[in-house]
Amino acid sequence: SDLQDLLIAALQGLSAWAVKAREYGIINHDVDSFAPRAFFSTLTNVNFDSPRIVGYAREAIALRGVLKAQCLAV
C-alpha cells in the first residue's frame, strides 16, 4: 500500500500542474488518458503488481515535468 500511496501523491502533483496548464490553454492528451488509468490501478489489490505501480509513479512524475515546463514557458 505504500507504493499506492506514492502513486496517489504523484498523481496529485500531476493533477495540480494539469489544472494550471488548462488555465493557460494547454491540453495534454497523454495526461488526460494516463491519469484515470493510473488512478484505477490503486482501487483494488487483487492484481497488485509492484513494478507496474512504480512505473505509473515514474510516468506521473515525468508527465508532471512536461506540464511544468509548458506552464513556465508561457
CA 30, 32, 33, 34 dihedral sign is: positive
Q: Does domain 2-72 have CATH number 1.20.1270.20?
A: yes
Render pLDDT for 12-37 as a digit per residue (tens, 0 to 9): 999 999 999 999 999 999 999 999 99
pTM: 0.89
The rounded distance, in Å, linking the Cα atoms of 64 and 59 is 8
pLDDT at 6 over 90: yes
The rounded distance, in Å, linking the Cα atoms of 9 and 23 is 22
Residue 68, all three cell numbers = 511544468
Task: Calculate the CA 20 to chain-centre distance.
Answer: 14
